[in-house]
Amino acid sequence: MSEKGQVPPLQRRTVVLMAATAVAMFAFWSMLNTLQSPNPPAVSTRFKGAPLFITLGDSITQLGVDPKRLGFQALLSSDYVRKADVVNRGLSGWTTQGWLPKVPLLIDEWQYKPPSLITIFLGANDAALIDSVDKGQHVPLEEYTANLRTMVNLFHAAFPSCSLLFLTPPVVDDARWPSRANLETKKYAAACVQVANETHVPVVDFWTRLQGRTDLLADGLHFNEAGNVVAHEMITQAISQFYPHLVPSALPDEF
């Protein structure tokens, strides 16, 4: 320090140079962090890979991945090998009531690779008889209807370009699965069709189409091998009719 408490010129220039260097380094690291931000720019060159198809549902969907049963989802995966990734989100025992609060988690999971198709196959458990051993699964018809509608709204808001496809609960064999009744399930299938019409989402009406075909059920509720083959055919026909841009022949090979 000088007698007047001033910094000598040489030392002052050194301090200024060091400060300028620090500012420059801070600006560089800020720019680098921006470039590496987890929020990429709107226009991204990120490799997207094959389209993503989601099969969402309960145990009927969960078992749809079983090759021993010729599961309908396993057959879809075979159809779309090198064309699309068909992911199973079927959870045994689940209902629209259980699924609805989980939808935001699914949306968060898929935000970096939005699905091209989601099938919604729920209602078989919602329709459980209220006085049966499965009464804990029962969801009132009005709530079931509202839940489906909300799920559609959430998916449409999150993934505007995603195609949706409803699948109604199928026919039930009361004698083999006494906690269900075919006529009760009919109400839920009709509600699913109603929501589909209101929201302009295509629907595969398994309940109506499979009346009298309890031979397609392994245990009175779930598809057997023949039932899965029929379900697969109905789903692929619906995709071909309503979403022709998603049939395997319309999609390029990946790699």
Active site positions, annotated = 59, 219, 222
d(CA 76, CA 83): 11
61 close to 89: Cβ distance less than 8 angstroms: yes
Q: Which residues of 158-185 are buried (b: 16+ CB within 10 A; e: fewer)?
A: bbeebbbbbbbbbbbbbeebebbbbebb
Query: How many helices, marked H, and strands, marked E, lie in the chain?
Result: 9, 5
Give rounded-to-5 percent helix, strand, coil for the chain.
Answer: 50, 10, 40
Choose among 148, 130, 147, 149: nearest CA to 138: 130
Which amino acid appears at position 119 of this protein?
T
